[in-house]
Structure 1
């Protein structure tokens, strides 16, 4: 082996990487952003979960009990309800993750040692279930006594939509979004680049297609593939893992289609920027990692710092998780989850418009 020849090739590769601005930025920017973003975002302790309280007792003791639970930092009261049924409706719409129901005879139940307070949790999220265990250890006497080592018998925890607390129930619907994000962004991110590398761009330039027609034509086949993937995952999830489907199947497919189109539009935008398929793969990974880690799929969304939540709100995966869990596991409709629908539609419009404006039917 001739070390001089080897060293010459090494220098050539280093100069090539240095001239490639996208690769250079990926080398420096990705580690810094990932460290800062995920270092702050990844938090296994549930904090600041959205909650609502229905205090039908309205006594000083009941208010003190609610304050004791809030003081743990696990929940943050976002709304007040009049009845427990209103709490259930909020859970179904995804407005809250935890509901605190205080019965009218709270003081009597507390004095008799009976269950005096009910904690309703959204069982579609395993993190929320873990938070309920922490809440259940809160003493209700209004004193500063030490927290018991086990759940208090005076706090009743009810897990809605997943009473068996099976992790597959919350994971499998989210996997639909993870798989669609990975495949759809990757396919279209390499679409325009592949045409250039294979020499097919000359044929596309010669066609009478305008930019928008070409972009739509690139998206439609992959949209059909995405729906096929959705069907396969749904069938396997229901058959092998016994995942319930409480909502409309049509709404599930509409939610999946919204995510598919959003990811395809993002992939097309990446494709107009990347100079090679390798760069397209790098950019896809840059989008895919946040979609897994800060969308709420793996770690509690409410416990992330506000800046990280702002970034997560831009990701299509974040809104799809709210849609698919709400429809499949809580029986909600698309109309009840309209903020997430509007977010996906808006994201698609912005990404598709930008991709069309950036694309030029020319070789340079």
Structure 2
């Protein structure tokens, strides 16, 4: 082995990497991104869960209990309700994660040592459910800590003294019920973005793009026609995950199946338009896959699939709102687990439609510039 020839090869690779800005960005960007996300953005201690309060007693004691719960930092009251039914409806629509109910006879219940406060929790997110149980550890003024008692497992209810926590939609805290709907979004994000980004670049590498440009097709028709087949593939993947989730893990579909597929179509189109935009920037299939990884990593970490969204700093939450997977997870969990409809979850639908419009417009504009 010649050291001089070996050195020549090493220098060639180093120069090639220096000219490849995307590879350089991955060398530096991936460790920096992971360090920042895991060290700063990821927080398993939930704080500031959006909550609604139905204080039917409206006494000094009941207001003090709500203030004590707020002081823990676990909940942040956002809405006021008159009845528990109103809180349940807001839970179902995903407007709040926790509901606090103080009955009319709060003072009498408290003095008699009976259950005096009930905390309603959206159990479709098991992490939120675990965080809300901390509220049951608060003693009322006349309740000694020795009275703390857990109720039977599997009932979805935990009591400590005179405060009980009742979990809805997943009282058994089965992780599969929370994970399987989210997996639809993860799979569609990973495959749709990569397939589309690679497909356009592959045509350019094989020399087929010039032939397609010579046809009477407009650039918009060319790009839409390239991605439509992948939309069908995405629907097949959605059906496969749904079938296996229901068959193997008994995951419920409490909402409309049509709404489930419409939500999946929104995410599919959003990811396809993002893949198109990546394809206008990437020079090779390898670069397209590298850029896809930069999108996939923040999506899986910041969307609320793996780590609780409420535990992230505000600036990270604002960044996560740009990701289509964040809105899809709210849609799919709301429809499948809570029985909500697309109309009730309209803010997430509008967010995905806005993302599609912006990404598609940007992709078409960049595609025209590269071909002219």
TM-score, normalising length from structure 1?
0.96
Shift of 1:79: 0.8
- 8 Å contact from structure 1 (residues 196, 363) kept in 2: no
1:157 matches 2:165? yes
CA distance in 1, matches of 2:6, 2:100: 68
Q: How does 1:1-364 map to 2 (within 5 A)?
A: 1-141=1-141, 152-360=160-368
Runs of 4+ in 1 over 4 A off after TM superposition: 142-151, 361-364
Tell me: CA distance 1:164–1:362, structure 2 relative to 1, closer, same or farther (3 Å). closer
Local SS of the residue matching 1:319 = helix
Tell me: CA distance 1:331–1:149, structure 2 relative to 1, closer, same or farther (3 Å). closer
Local SS of the residue matching 1:157 = strand
Local SS of the residue matching 1:70 = helix
CA distance in 1, matches of 2:12, 2:200: 27
Shift of 1:145: 8.1
CA distance in 1, matches of 2:23, 2:368: 23
Could you list the runs of 5+ residues in structure 2 that have no partner in the other structure? Answer: 151-158
Output one character per residue of 1:292-326: Cα deviation in whole Å (capped at 9) or x when no partner: 11111111111211110011000000000010011
- 8 Å contact from structure 1 (residues 68, 142) kept in 2: no
Shift of 1:197: 1.5
CA distance in 2, matches of 1:342, 1:142: 49
| RMSD over aligned Cα atoms | 2.0
- 8 Å contact from structure 2 (residues 255, 339) kept in 1: yes
Local SS of the residue matching 1:51 = strand
CA distance in 1, matches of 2:201, 2:120: 51
Local SS of the residue matching 1:164 = coil
CA distance in 1, matches of 2:142, 2:29: 50
Shift of 1:32: 2.4
Local SS of the residue matching 2:121 = strand
Tell me: CA distance 1:204–1:156, structure 2 relative to 1, closer, same or farther (3 Å). same
CA distance in 2, matches of 1:300, 1:123: 13
CA distance in 2, matches of 1:63, 1:142: 16
Shift of 1:29: 3.0
Tell me: CA distance 1:7–1:242, structure 2 relative to 1, closer, same or farther (3 Å). same
Local SS of the residue matching 1:156 = strand
Shift of 1:30: 3.5
Shift of 1:7: 1.8
Local SS of the residue matching 2:321 = helix
Could you list the runs of 5+ residues in structure 1 that have no partner in the other structure? Answer: none
Alignment coverage as a number of residue pairs: 364
